[in-house]
A and B are shown apart, each in its own frame.
Chain A
């Protein structure tokens, strides 16, 4: 069945911002789908609100809508574009839910649009828990038994059928409130009682508990001819009870006999057919009883997923790409296998290595959140590692996480676990947490039996035994170091077999260095002298049965390496590792763009990365892909291999790009051969990071910066604040995303914050404080506007300003968490000129070759709005988080240009070549808004601060600031009300701007309620306040009769928008309660007065104008002017009152 000829245009729905549970994997799947569908000649229309994605590059679709992913906006797009079909299975849950909404409301029918990939009935069957369960029972499959109860008597009856243990889930509750596992009668009665209370409809679901069962996943593909294949089996290291996204997982399954595996395979096909997924990829999850082998179906996802991205990277079989082809009518046997080219895609990959995925969490960013893993996913990213064996891949994965671990053990951090007494550690390990695997290692190493650890954790004995092997090898290796032995002695005592054994079990040189108390260089030299070098094998889908055409490699220590000689000039691009808060998809975008640009310029591109979600680790992106940890050893090994490949083939390794993947590759700049660093030199990078050097540079350039100094002791810190005064901003050096950054208002505040930084928190674990890693202390500028600039400088000294972004929230909110606007509508022409001038001077002085990001603060001036004094906060000679947003807003491919500049091109040459185009000069305004994960951490106060907490971003683009802002809010998940009541509760310093916002809301017909202090101020300003809201009582008791407090008001549904800005000092209890109530009851919440004012303007514009959608291609086809004068020209003569 070849390509469908009855459809011409297809709307692909993306997954929107990166949130917990939905990350880069949908950029990977969507990008693949766009490519395939375009190649097939369809008109591709794309809707996605996330500007940091590759898929939203205007080249990937015919019409790219960076618009909010909500039904009414989608309807506008359908109306405008009239596609023949909608493909909803490649954009995660977001796309699937939207497609269902459009289908159920009749919109798809109204526009005559067909759902391809999965139809509405199939999606419903898979997504509705009850329908799914019934469907499974209907085809005779085993699902965990359950029953529903409305009182204790009914509950007892259900329990009679199920037996303990059971899971109790109250109906219609948020965030798992009241859920629990009961193992005893007493627990059962307590939890049912609690659950019935928690449920608004007094109903609980009682389900047979399968916590502790083994968990497996199968990635299934099916085509129109009903050919079904399994792409990959995945076994969870963590048993049932921990969300699979929060579990360490291993591919292929390791502990299933073929009989069990084939049963699972047959079942997966049955599920696929019953649910009715006609074409594409799905994921089916199973639980297996460890002692009886009983199998139960947990769920299925009728779409590509995070697991399918992992399976694609783990096997070399591109599920999303194939799914897109199947959706337009092809069958599996008509599609060639990309890697072998000679065999068809209708097969099941066989792999001759082991893949381990380990999640990365960000609990350290959310004080108050319990770091316990459960049924709701909380990780923000993940790494994948490939090794020939499980121990090797596990240790490589641990290294890839970049959380201060060199492997599973043999590093300073292992002591944290070794200090804990055995019984206590055993109790800790029984609970799923990010640390569990290290606890397990420490237990096994101290001699606790595999059986005992199994009983406590239910982690399969096979996995535990493999970890025990690592513990045993550790002591063997340790025995090479005896008292008095020198580094030379230790290394000499290791014969080739010893080295091979250690390396094959995944021990990194840095682990051995720790164990033997020598430098990593000494270990490496000793190992190489013993003739033990890394070898690279190939991911080829077929376990070497057929020749592979695609050089997708992983490192291991074997006899034979498969890296082919090459004859071209080549460039290594270092990726950004796992997604984390502060470093995510934006940097992957940059690395991918570098690949594209350099490939176009004739270079052979070589990517090194370990994040399975990304486009960069798609073997289609670069000429060669190394799926490796971004560690010193990992990268040096790749450099050696590529140098050899060049020697053999007559090519040349031009260099390594370290400045596009965030802090991860940048940190490696100092250990790589300096002559290979492309772009800005390591010395310049250090100069910008080193406080003293940087201050001297600013002084020399006569650029003002806030007073400050560095400190490595509390005494030094206090001495600094004595000199510069409060408030002060404190931040550790060499961190990204404002890790542990804080604004302090008095000495006690500083002492508390200092202790938090210096203690054994996550930062301590990452290396802690030292003279090399001091804390920076700066005077914090209050009432200032923050401005971000992205610019490129070439070797001739020409600088182009990529974009100037004005932040909506005041300085002090991390730039990554703040909304920002292009063009900077609130800054005067003169201020912009100053900012551009400073940027040029800094870039020149640092001898930047490539991208630089500079942050400024503009002091508020009441006399001359938008024209206060400009201070420079910091400069980073590397790609910033905002580069993709700037590129999309201006139409200039900044990273492509920067990559070429780093490899020697001048801006003038690129201008002639046509790569450097002028900025789009249209009438549009682009707003970037951050997306925050508060709903995943219900116990954490939803307040913005200097530490970045957002996971992703969206872009709102329109022709007025108000509309663009309103769209950005809608895209970020907050639909602004068009009428109703706004509840104000403001800190004193926010009252001036707050009053402006309130006035605007009143003029739009809203009524205002406020807490007493705020109400008094507003009334003073002549703004009517409909109701004064009582303070929440300190003891949490009900407020006095006749009074309604903020929480009660929000809970009763009497508020449509909450504006609550936290007090800088003093008790925060009241505000925290209000914010939590808003989060619980899904009332939009704004935590700065500036955002409230922007929102009021947005609501005003929204009410006046009709909602319009325009594609990026249309925006970019706007008026064209010279790129250098752009920022001057598009500036309005009167700055807009943004703040």
Chain B
């Protein structure tokens, strides 16, 4: 691995010096929206999470790559993030689970990386100024600055179309359950599928699938997945949901949460720098218990105006809505990631809640 000097230039002109690794785009430039993630383990899951489409992920944990990569921990076959920023890339992978090293994995998937960065300084910058577009790579400072100035953010962008499955496919149940779940794929993570499969056979369908097509699969419940980009730019999914609500139980996670809120008449807004990590406390207002959650979202929902919706979960750090339920329409959703991957398993009970809801609605 040859060390090549590289730099990050943010849209506001801030510069960070480092070294390149991973894929090398011909232009020597990678652009995207810079965000940070504070998980201590699970870099492979984060990199392969389709919700990061359009983004460049800064890992606050300094050593990245320590245990290599393996096929089980992949959240999608094709990682969609634009690039990654680390403090110290491990040159050796050490784990009985490792099937390869991180650099080869990035090269294979065309993802560029930059190391040796004062990631704490970058994180503080993002915290104070918000997620910001920018560029990094081995190109000259002026080229990077020019690219940064025109780099797109995620605001107003529909990125779902770029990550949803082209064709429907079936994930067989792992428990022998006879339930049928249709999962609307806005960028679905493998761990979600694994969790859903414990409760039924999962029919994964493209984001553009219509309500009729979904109902034609005679589901016991419909699941709306996580996904990248600005929820306000994805208008067709809330429309689909509106047609489904009341006829079949609906459960949403992350972008699915935002889609469901929009379908019910709520709105979404962008958080300054989002929630990306594995340590946020969320209170389940129905039990008063605190769960430590996996988080990855830039947008939040506002459902205050809705009378038929009850907020069920709140983030204890900033009081933002982390979940709501609409009992009369048998629908609920959470903003955080109960499937974890990576992160704590505290919220996995939500899948069981979905199963209970499906069973109650069926009887």
Contacts and interface: CB of A to CB of B under 8 A. Distances in A.
A225 interface: yes
Interface stretch (A457-465, A594-602, A642-650, A1123-1131): A457-465
Interface string A243-259: 00000000011111111
Interface string A321-333: 0000000000111
Contacts of B317: 342-344, 347, 546
16 contacts: A254-B66, A256-B67, A258-B73, A258-B342, A259-B73, A262-B343, A265-B345, A266-B345, A342-B317, A348-B344, A352-B123, A388-B87, A462-B66, A462-B93, A537-B120, A546-B127
Given A291-B96, A346-B281, A352 B290 contact: no
Contacts of A252: 40-41, 61
Nearest to A251: B40
Looking at chain B, what size class is its interface with the partner chain?
35 or more
A388 B123 CA distance: 14
A772 interface: no
A465 B62 contact: no
Tell me what chain A mostly uses at the interface: helix, strand, loop, or mixed: loop
B95 A544 contact: no
A91 to B, nearest CB: 29
A390 to B, nearest CB: 7
A388 B288 CA distance: 38
A293 B345 CA distance: 19
Contacts of A347: 279-281, 292, 316-317
A53 B217 CA distance: 71
Contact of A293 (B96, B118, B292): B96
Interface of B: 16, 36, 38-42, 44-45, 60-63, 66-67, 70, 72-73, 87-88, 90-97, 118-121, 123-124, 127, 277-281, 283, 288-290, 292, 316-317, 340-345
- SS of B interface (majority): loop
A128 interface: no
A349 interface: yes
Nearest to A350: B38
A534 to B, nearest CB: 13
Nearest to A460: B94
Given A343-B317, A350-B279, A389-B62, A462 B92 contact: yes
Contact of B61 (A227, A352, A465): A352
Contacts of A542: 38, 279
A558 B121 contact: yes
Given A348-B292, A545-B38, 15 more contacts: A225-B288, A225-B290, A233-B40, A254-B63, A257-B41, A257-B95, A258-B340, A291-B96, A343-B316, A350-B39, A352-B60, A389-B62, A537-B120, A547-B127, A560-B120
Contacts of A255: 66-67, 94-95
A905 B90 CA distance: 54
A229 interface: yes
Interface of A: 225-227, 229, 233, 252-262, 265-266, 289-293, 331-333, 342-344, 346-354, 388-390, 450, 460-462, 465, 469, 537, 542-547, 558-560
Contacts of A257: 41-42, 44, 67, 70, 73, 95, 97
Nearest to A496: B17
A450 B342 CA distance: 30
A470 to B, nearest CB: 13
B289 A354 contact: no
Nearest to B88: A389
A356 to B, nearest CB: 13
Contacts of B124: 544, 560
Contact of A256 (B41, B44, B72): B41
B62 A558 contact: no
Contacts of A333: 281, 283, 290, 316
Contacts of A469: 91
B45 A344 contact: no
Contacts of B94: 255, 460-462, 465
B279 A262 contact: no
B224 to A, nearest CB: 25
B290 A227 contact: yes
Contacts of B60: 350, 352, 543-545
A352 B62 contact: yes
Contacts of A543: 38, 60-61, 120, 123, 277
Nearest to B275: A545
Contacts of B121: 558-560
A461 B44 CA distance: 20
Contacts of A262: 340, 342-345
Contacts of B280: 347
Nearest to B69: A257
Nearest to B70: A257
Given A256-B67, A333-B316, A560-B121, A350 B40 contact: yes
A293 B340 CA distance: 20
A461 B95 CA distance: 9
Contact of A351 (B40, B42, B342): B40
A390 B61 CA distance: 12
A350 B317 CA distance: 14
Contacts of A389: 62-63, 87-88
Q: Nearest 7 CB-CB pairs, A to B?
A: A258-B42, A258-B342, A462-B94, A543-B60, A560-B121, A559-B118, A465-B92
Contacts of B38: 350, 352, 542-543, 545
Given A333-B281, A351-B40, A462-B94, A388 B62 contact: yes
Contacts of A343: 281, 316-317
Given A229-B292, A333-B316, A545 B67 contact: no
Given A255-B67, A465-B91, A227 B73 contact: no
Contacts of A450: 92
A1138 B157 CA distance: 88
Contacts of B343: 258, 262
A331 B72 CA distance: 37
Nearest to A545: B38
Given A257-B67, A293-B97, A537-B120, A348 B91 contact: no
Contacts of B88: 388-389
A1052 B292 CA distance: 59
Contacts of A346: 281, 290, 292, 316
A544 B281 contact: no
B278 A348 contact: yes
Contacts of B289: 225-227
B66 to A, nearest CB: 5
Contacts of A558: 118, 120-121
Given A348-B278, A559-B118, A560-B118, A545 B127 contact: yes
B297 to A, nearest CB: 14
A225 B317 CA distance: 19
Nearest to B119: A352
B106 to A, nearest CB: 17
Nearest to A390: B63
A353 B290 contact: no
A259 B72 contact: yes
B340 to A, nearest CB: 6
Contacts of A462: 66-67, 90, 92-94
B344 A544 contact: no
Contacts of B96: 289-293
Contact of B277 (A260, A388, A460, A545): A545
A189 B122 CA distance: 61
A770 B62 CA distance: 44
B191 to A, nearest CB: 10
Nearest to B280: A347
A368 B340 CA distance: 54
A648 B269 CA distance: 39
A233 B90 CA distance: 20
Contact of B127 (A266, A292, A460, A544): A544
A227 B283 CA distance: 10
Max chain B Cβ within 10 angstroms of own Cβ: one of A229, A233, A293, A462: A462
Nearest to A262: B345
B42 A353 contact: no
